Structure 1
C-alpha cells in the first residue's frame, strides 16, 4: 500500500574539504562579538514528500536522488532521515 512519506536530507561537505562559506560565517560571527566560535561548517537541508510502499522504499529512493542530484558525493556527505 502506497503512503505519503516525508524525508529530510542533511548535506554537508566531507571532513577535510575547505568550506569557504563556513569560514565567512565564522569570521562574521567574530566581528559581531562571538569570538569563541572556532569553526563553522555550512550545509543544506532538503525536505521531500514522496509516495512509497514504506520507509525502506522511501529511503532507497531518496538515496538514489542524493547519489544522482541532491549531493555532490565527491565532496559532500549526506544523511537521510525518514519522518
Structure 2
C-alpha cells in the first residue's frame, strides 16, 4: 500500500487573492517578516499498487485527468509506503 501526498498550488503567474488576504492579515497581526503567501490544496490518496513506479504513474495520471487544472495550477507529489 502506498500513500501519495499531493500539493497543488497556483502557478506563479496566476494571482492568488486568498494568499494576498492571508499575507495582509498576518502583517496586520505584526508578522512583518511575511513577504508572500500562496494558498493551495493538499490531497492524500491511498493506492494499492504493486510497486513504486506504478504508483508514480497512477498519481501522474490522476493529476492529469482530474486533480490539477494545468492551465492555472502546478503540483508536486511524494509517495510513501504505509
What TM-score do you get using the length of structure 1 for normalisation? 0.90
In 1: Cα distance, 2:16 partner to 2:6 partner:
19
In the TM superposition, structure 1's runs of 4+ consecutive aligned residues that sit over 3 Å from their partners are none
Q: Where does residue 58 of structure 1 map in the other structure?
A: 55
In 2: Cα distance, 1:28 partner to 1:81 partner:
31
What SS does structure 1 have at the residue aligned with 2:48? strand
Shift of 1:30: 1.0
Matched residues, number: 80
In 2: Cα distance, 1:56 partner to 1:73 partner:
23
Cα RMSD between the aligned structures? 0.9
| 1:75 paired residue among 51, 72, 75 | 72
| 1:38 paired residue among 32, 35, 59 | 35
Show structure 2 runs of 5+ residues with no match: none
